[in-house]
Amino acid sequence: MKVGEMAVKRINDWIYFFYIEAADFNYGSVVLHKGKKAIVFDTMECVGNGKRVKDYMIDLGIVDFTVVNTHWHFDHIGGNFFYQDDNIIATSECRRRLEQNKKLIETGGKGEIGRSPSDVDTIAFIETSFPVVYPNITFNSRLELYLEDIKIELFNIHIHTRDCLVGYLPQEKILIPGDTLEAPLPLIIEVGNIPVHIKNLKKLNELDIKMIIPPHGNLERYDQGGYDKSFIGNTIYYLTKILSRANKPNFLEGSLEEYITQAVEPRESYRGIHQDNLAIVQQYYSNNNLYCSKKKQRSY
């Protein structure tokens, strides 16, 4: 696919996945629909692509939209502008981060890359700029939604960023993970929190899950209904291995293939993301932060 092209994948009778190709990875929206209502997980990276998704669903007869922003990163909120008369749901922390970074997002924050060691609260690589439309319904830990007979549990979980939520459909055993799970490997943002991410991925792994529909993944997988639970194992494996090797010689030379499992397919463009991950992990953890954080835990 060419950059900017959109593919629409039917996951089942009432779930669509919208995939827009980008240079290094893709943007994605998961849309659940029943009758004239739809719940849209994430609104792409810009107003125009958010509109493409909404227009597609309007053409199918949808008139009632609810948006869920899985977290505050630009490629998940870019099209909120076209949903400003609809309900938009996110965690309270997501809204707080958007309020704090509104000006930066609206002016295009190039140069304010947020993958630094101290990054727990800064902007994450804005590639574009757009008007910020805030979520109008927020929650701290859990919220339940219904789309006719479909129950959707939203809960905050600190993986990828602190404000992340995931959507879980307990009857169907479907997980909509936002960026808590990314294929083929996670783009590490809040590097100092990797141990917390691993701990919470293990909690996520305790859920009964048959199908996972991540926003960033291999296009062909969406023809097969998404990923299975081994995808969570892949993410735990990647992060655990990266931490265990952080102080080893030749750490920066570790290839993508050494760090991923059979659960995912390598993607060429993720080699650069993987190299960046290794570099920021080495930068952060080479100062004995691993030892310090263990020591700190023991003394409390």
| Residue spans of alpha helices (H) in the chain | 47-59, 74-77, 92-100, 102-107, 194-204, 219-223, 230-245, 256-259, 270-285, 289-299
Cβ proximity to Zn ion: between 75 and 82 the closer is: 75
Positions in 53-82 near Zn ion (CB under 5 A): 73
Q: CA 242 to CA 240: how far, in whole Å?
A: 5
Judged by CB, which is closer to Zn ion: 33, or 270?
270
CB of 2 to Zn ion, least distance (A): 23
- Smaller CB distance to Zn ion: residue 128 or 293? 128
- Please provide residue 195's backbone torsions phi and psi, each rounded to the nearest 5 degrees: -60, -35
- In the three-class reduction of DSSP (H, G, I as helix; E, B as strand; rest coil), residue 181 is classed as coil
Q: In this complex, which beta carbon is closest to Zn ion, that of residue 147 or of residue 165?
A: 165
Told to check if 93 binds Zn ion by CB under 5 A, we report no
Which CB sits closer to Zn ion, 150 or 175? 175
Listing DSSP states for 55-122 in one string gives HHHHHTT--EEEEE-SSSSHHHHTTGGGGTTSEEEEEHHHHHHHHHTHHHHHH--TT----STT-SSS
CB atoms within 10 A of CB 190: 22
In the complex, what is the shortest distance from the CB of residue 126 to Zn ion, in angstroms, rounded to a whole number? Answer: 12
CA distance 33 to 68: 13
Instruction: Pick the stretch among 41-49, 179-187, 200-208, 263-271 that binds Zn ion (CB under 5 A).
Output: 179-187
CB of 160 to Zn ion, least distance (A): 6
- Which of 250, 221, 243, 252 has the alpha carbon at shortest distance from 291? 243
Near Zn ion by CB under 5 A, which window of 29-37, 83-91, 177-185, 268-276?
Answer: 177-185
Shortest distance, CB of residue 78 to Zn ion, whole angstroms?
Answer: 12
Stretch of 178-186, 238-246, 270-278, 287-295 contacting Zn ion, by CB under 5 A? 178-186
Q: Which stretch binds Zn ion (CB under 5 A): 47-55, 173-181, 238-246, 259-267?
A: 173-181
> Which tokens belong to 3?
């950059």
Of 73 and 245, nearer to Zn ion (C-beta) is: 73
Report which residue type is found at 62: I
Instruction: Determine which residue in the list 42, 45, 163, 179 makes contact with Zn ion, applying CB under 5 A.
Output: 179
CB of 108 to Zn ion, least distance (A): 17
Minimum CB distance to Zn ion smaller for 104 or for 290 = 104
Q: Count CB neighbours of 118 within 10 A.
A: 11
CB 115 to Zn ion: min, Å = 11
Q: How far is the CB of 162 from Zn ion (least distance, A)?
A: 12
Q: Point out which residues bind Zn ion (CB under 5 A).
A: 73, 179
